[in-house]
Amino acid sequence: MTSTPPPSSLDPEIAARLRRSPDGLVPAIAQQYDTGEVLMLGWMDDEALHRTLTTGRCTYWSRSRSEYWVKGDTSGHFQWVKSVALDCDADTVLVKVDQVGAACHTGARTCFDADVLLKDADSGTASGTPRSDQ
């Protein structure tokens, strides 16, 4: 982050657990709550996480604009928060949302459907099974 964000109102117990990048951010994965579809990756600092937890709408920190943005305020493609969890290392946030409209800035439903690097040959979907030579 190029500018220092204001002090956060994030619960100090949650803040103490977070493992942030050197610029004070944690990656936040947005996932559709009822289908498990991975929608996008954004970045949160303590205040963005606090706003997400208290407003019921995803708030992210824009690294390019150095400002907060609430998903849907400009596009109308809202993310209504259903649950928020930390991973086992407390260095990534998983936000399960009810996505309204596109999640990706390109207008696509998800940011992860245009450039699939490996597909399951049988089903045509991305494979979660490691290859036998790994």
Q: Is the pLDDT of residue 127 over 70?
A: no
> Token pair of 121, please?
């040959």
Helix, strand, or coil here: 15?
helix
Measured distance CA(44)–CA(24) in Å, rounded: 8
Confidence of residue 133 (pLDDT cuts 50, 70, 90): very low
Q: Per-residue pLDDT tens for 47-92? A: 999 999 999 999 999 999 999 999 999 999 999 999 999 999 999 9
Residues in the chain: 134
> What does the pLDDT read at residue 16?
92
- DSSP for 32-100 reads ETTT--EEEEEEE-HHHHHHHHHHSB-EEEETTTTEEEETTTTTS--EEEEEEEE-TTSS-EEEEEEE-
4-57 pLDDT, tens digit each: 556 689 989 999 999 999 999 999 999 999 999 999 999 999 999 999 999 999
pLDDT in tens, 103-125: 999 999 999 988 888 888 776 55
User: Is the pLDDT assigned to residue 131 strictly greater than 80?
Assistant: no
pLDDT recorded at residue 87: 95
Is the overall model pTM greater than 0.85, yes or no? Answer: no
